[in-house]
């Protein structure tokens, strides 16, 4: 998937004017925000679970190499093959090699954001392998030739009517309008693919080091069928997803669905270990696990390491006023919202994603709801700092910040400058005490007036106060 984050502002403006998209985005409040609040309220020890989850994730990162090696040993001992991929291109190459070695003609997929990160579908199709998405949301997007706009609900940006139109056109069947009918229609189309596919491709929510297992949480049965029906199963996930024990994974599973969709638990929790044994009727003959780095290890030991704790619940974007208004496609890559505004610059380069760390009000709602306590606003600020020190911001902004810094380090000049600005601002405010335009702050004054300053600085008012 091409990174188009540099077009964030233009896309955000278009999306704000798109009434259909705004109607689709309005679902976030009830489906996610309220649902999470209810689920968290029902959990007596939410804060304790959150602290435990944070400690598990941080503990793993302190010894990531050791836990990954342990995972590889245990997975290999049970018949899986572990592959290491440094880049997205490596993932695609490995999957194509596996497909070619096994004469794979058709691959079915369950939802995997890492495979989106690698643009795996395009690579497989170019290599002559038919790819069928089986997660309902991903299937709809495949029909529409669109990218996901949310990491948990990839088709959040579409209304039911749009899906009805799409199915009628692509399936060449009478238009259905009920959700159950639409689901049944998709199921009828997808079922034959499950039995005829040679390869199943999934993601992995957690890798369990002590058993070499891949843990998957899903709400549709497609995940289980994708991972057990075809003769070859390929699981692709990031290296940071490893946890030491099954118990650690279940602690995280207590908090993941609650934060994501407000469910106590997802409909399916699958622990996939090794290949089909001689006395078993289900399961793949080959189980390949591809562990992707793609910039992750470079975050270790830096100010941004805590971002690797992310368990991809989507709560930060659900609660972000910017995401709620502009939707996921504005962010221009796989990961939207606050987590995407940090991950995309790190994976795709700071210079290619300049608007993203600034696409936040830093209100702190994201950090408040993050189940693994990632200080997202601090990380966004760190990226802004890097943009500035690497001279990636516009010269006007850099000059403005330098002037501000110069003043801030000289209290006398700072006091004079703020007193002058306050007087000028007060005059410009006129009788209504409102500023309709402010140089360099057009974004603020374009949609609303700014209250004019009082004409005196806080210091002056403080000095003039009457003693009690
Ligand atoms: S940053 Fe936190 S809230 Fe956002 S997706 Fe990751 S775990 Fe969830």
pLDDT tens profile 185-219? 999 999 999 999 999 999 999 999 999 999 999 99
Distance 371 CA to ligand 1 centre (A): 7
Task: Quote the CA–CA distance of 140 and 159 in Å, as a whole number.
Answer: 11
The gap from C-alpha 242 to its chain's centroid, in whole angstroms, comes to 18
Going along the chain from its start, the domains and CATH numbers come out as: 1-42+314-393 (no CATH), 46-297 (3.40.50.10420), 395-463 (no CATH)
Measured from the Cβ of residue 246, the count of other Cβ atoms closer than 10 Å reads 16
| Tens-level pLDDT at each residue, the chain (468 residues) | 789 999 999 999 999 999 999 999 999 998 999 999 999 999 989 999 999 999 999 999 999 999 999 999 999 999 999 999 999 999 999 999 999 999 999 999 999 999 999 999 999 999 999 999 999 999 999 999 999 999 999 999 999 999 999 999 999 999 999 999 999 999 999 999 999 999 999 999 999 999 999 999 999 989 999 999 999 999 999 999 999 999 999 999 999 999 999 999 999 999 999 999 999 988 999 999 999 999 999 999 999 999 999 999 999 999 999 999 999 999 999 999 999 999 999 999 999 999 999 999 999 999 999 999 999 999 999 999 999 899 999 888 889 888 999 999 999 999 999 999 999 999 988 888 898 887 777 777 887 888 898 888 988 888 888 776
Task: Quote the CA–CA distance of 104 and 69 in Å, as a whole number.
Answer: 30
Task: Quote the CA–CA distance of 450 and 92 in Å, as a whole number.
Answer: 51
| Strand ranges inside 231-284, DSSP E | 232-238, 242-243, 268-272
Does pTM surpass 0.85? Answer: yes
By most ligand atoms within 8 Å of CB, the mutation choice from 40, 262, 374 for ligand 1 is 374
| Strand ranges inside 210-266, DSSP E | 213-218, 232-238, 242-243
What phi and psi, each to the nearest 5 degrees, are found at residue 150? Answer: -155, 145
Residues 208, 243 contacting (CB under 8 angstroms): yes
Task: Quote the CA–CA distance of 212 and 233 in Å, as a whole number.
Answer: 15
Residues 243, 56 contacting (CB under 8 angstroms): yes
Distance 243 CA to ligand 1 centre (A): 17
By most ligand atoms within 8 Å of CB, the mutation choice from 36, 261, 339, 367 for ligand 1 is 339
Helix (H, G, I), strand (E, B) or coil at 389: helix
Among 165, 162, 187, 183, which Cα is nearest to 174's?
Answer: 165
Q: Which residue has the tokens 């405010």?
A: 429
The token pair that represents 246 in the structure block? 């099954």
Sheet holding 268-272, edge to edge: 242-243, 206-208, 213-218, 268-272
pLDDT for 296 equals: 97
Distance 59 CA to ligand 1 centre (A): 17
Distance 388 CA to ligand 1 centre (A): 26
Helix (H, G, I), strand (E, B) or coil at 233: strand
pLDDT for 154 equals: 95
Give 405-448 pLDDT, tens digit per residue: 999 999 999 999 999 999 999 998 888 889 888 777 777 788 78
Distance 257 CA to ligand 1 centre (A): 12
Task: Quote the CA–CA distance of 384 and 451 in Å, as a whole number.
Answer: 27
Who lines ligand 1 at CB under 6 A? Answer: 259, 310-316, 339, 369-372, 374
Q: Which element (helix H / strand E) includes 166?
A: helix 160-171
Task: Quote the CA–CA distance of 27 and 8 in Å, as a whole number.
Answer: 22
Among 236, 299, 286, which Cα is nearest to 90's?
Answer: 236
By most ligand atoms within 8 Å of CB, the mutation choice from 54, 261, 313, 365 for ligand 1 is 313
Distance 318 CA to ligand 1 centre (A): 10
Ligand 1 atom, smallest distance to 314 CA: 5
Distance 256 CA to ligand 1 centre (A): 9
DSSP for 92-112, written as a single string: HHHHHHHHHHTT--EEEE---
pLDDT for 431 equals: 87
Residues 260, 315 contacting (CB under 8 angstroms): yes
pLDDT for 426 equals: 92
């Amino acid at each position: 998937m091409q990174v188009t984050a540099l077009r964030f502002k233009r896309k955000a403006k278009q999306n704000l004017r798109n009434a259909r998209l705004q109607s689709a985005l309005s679902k976030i409040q009830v489906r996610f925000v309220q649902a999470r609040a209810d689920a968290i309220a029902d959990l007596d020890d939410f804060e304790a679970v959150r602290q435990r989850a944070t400690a598990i994730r941080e503990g793993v990162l302190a010894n990531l190499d050791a836990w990954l090696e342990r995972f590889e040993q245990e997975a290999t001992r049970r018949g899986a093959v572990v592959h290491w991929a440094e880049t997205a291109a490596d993932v695609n190459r490995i999957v194509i090699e596996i497909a070619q070695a096994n004469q794979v003609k058709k691959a079915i997929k369950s939802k995997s954001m890492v495979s989106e990160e690698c643009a795996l579908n395009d690579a497989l199709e170019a290599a002559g392998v038919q790819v069928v998405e089986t997660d309902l949301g991903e299937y709809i997007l495949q029909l529409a030739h669109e990218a996901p706009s949310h990491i948990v609900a990839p088709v959040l940006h579409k209304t039911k009517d749009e899906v009805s139109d799409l199915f009628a056109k692509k399936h060449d069947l009478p238009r259905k309008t009920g959700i159950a009918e639409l689901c049944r229609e998709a199921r009828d189309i997808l079922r034959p693919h499950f039995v005829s596919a040679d390869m199943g491709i999934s993601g992995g929510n957690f890798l369990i080091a002590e058993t070499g297992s891949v843990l998957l949480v899903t709400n549709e049965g497609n995940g289980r069928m994708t991972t057990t029906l075809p003769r070859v199963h390929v699981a692709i996930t990031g290296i940071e997803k490893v946890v030491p024990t099954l118990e650690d994974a279940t602690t995280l599973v207590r908090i993941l669905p609650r934060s994501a969709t407000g469910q106590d638990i997802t409909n399916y929790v699958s622990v996939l270990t090794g290949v089909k044994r001689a006395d078993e009727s289900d399961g793949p003959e080959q189980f390949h696990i591809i562990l992707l780095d793609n910039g992750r290890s470079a975050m270790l030991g830096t100010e941004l390491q805590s971002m690797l704790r992310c368990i991809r619940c989507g709560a930060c974007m659900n609660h972000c006023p910017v995401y709620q208004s502009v939707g996921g496609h504005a962010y221009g890559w796989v990961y939207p919202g606050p987590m995407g505004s940090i991950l995309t610059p790190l994976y795709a380069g700071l210079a290619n994603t300049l608007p993203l760390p600034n696409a936040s009000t830093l209100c702190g709602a994201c950090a408040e709801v993050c189940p693994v306590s990632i200080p997202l606003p601090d990380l966004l600020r760190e990226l802004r700092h890097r943009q500035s020190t690497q001279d990636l911001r516009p010269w006007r902004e850099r000059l403005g910040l330098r002037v501000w810094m110069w003043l801030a380090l000289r209290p006398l000049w700072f006091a004079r400058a703020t007193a002058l600005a306050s007087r000028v601002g007060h005059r410009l405010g006129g009788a209504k005490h409102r500023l309709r335009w402010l140089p360099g702050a057009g974004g603020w004054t374009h949609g609303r007036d700014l209250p004019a300053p009082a004409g005196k600085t806080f210091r002056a008012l403080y000095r003039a106060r009457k003693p009690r």
